[in-house]
Chain A
Amino acid sequence: DIVLTQSPVLAVSLGQRATISCRASQSVSISSINLMHWYQQKPGQQPKLLIYRASNLASGIPARFSGSGSGTDFTLTIDPVQADDIAAYYCQQSRESHTFGAGTKLELK
């Protein structure tokens, strides 16, 4: 099974840049297609799709969110961080079956 590793917590100040990483135990890319996706989950809510295929913004998601990476290393960037962005963020791979990372909780410094 492909294991996705995320740092559990990231503390950031409002208006600053947040960089959340996700490392896969093996490549989740096929040719130029990166099968890595990102979700945001606020307390008491279901997860919401933010970024698909590593770098594509989902419908209705603000442009301050962006994604990058390929192979085994991926990054979700929020710039600038707003109060509404305080949430948990999960990466998910669909290269081999499906797995989620353990999530990164974005907190205010």
Chain B
Amino acid sequence: QVQLKESGPGLVQPSETLSLTCTVSGFSLTSNSVHWVRQPPGKGLEWMGIIRSGGSTDYNSALKSRLSISRDTSKSQVFLKMNSLQTEDTAIYYCTRGVYYGLLDYWGQGVMVTVSS
């Protein structure tokens, strides 16, 4: 069955770089896109970016200068890197599978990231 699982550090220092990994199973990264979505505590969902089945990427314009998404298809892993973290980047970070027409049909459980010194 389709599964996505996020992993990464729970605590990051301000101004440092966040690195997260999404490990997928049950589908191929060369057949489906993977998106990153985040949710600050008590707030709504924010779309961050996508890596498409062909490997191209697209980012939220508000995060574009700080964000990078890449992948290793042989390991079925997608990576998120975001630099210059601030306290407002504290959030649950989800990876989710994108299918045709851009809907997001399977979601990981999310990983909580706190930005604090």
Contacts and interface: CB of A to CB of B under 8 A. Distances in A.
Interface stretch (B12-20, B76-84, B105-113): B105-113
Given A100-B45, A103-B45, A46 B94 contact: yes
Interface residues of A, number: 24
Given A90-B44, A97-B58, A98-B47, A53 B101 contact: yes
Contacts of A35: 101-102
A80 to B, nearest CB: 26
Contacts of B94: 46-47
B103 A33 contact: no
A99 B46 CA distance: 7
A49 B96 CA distance: 11
Interface string B63-102: 0000000000000000000000000000000101000011
A1 B45 CA distance: 16
A52 B101 contact: yes
A94 B101 contact: yes
7 contacts: A46-B108, A46-B109, A48-B107, A49-B104, A92-B103, A98-B50, A103-B45
Interface of A: 1, 33, 35, 37, 39, 41, 46-49, 52-53, 58, 88, 90, 92, 94, 97-103
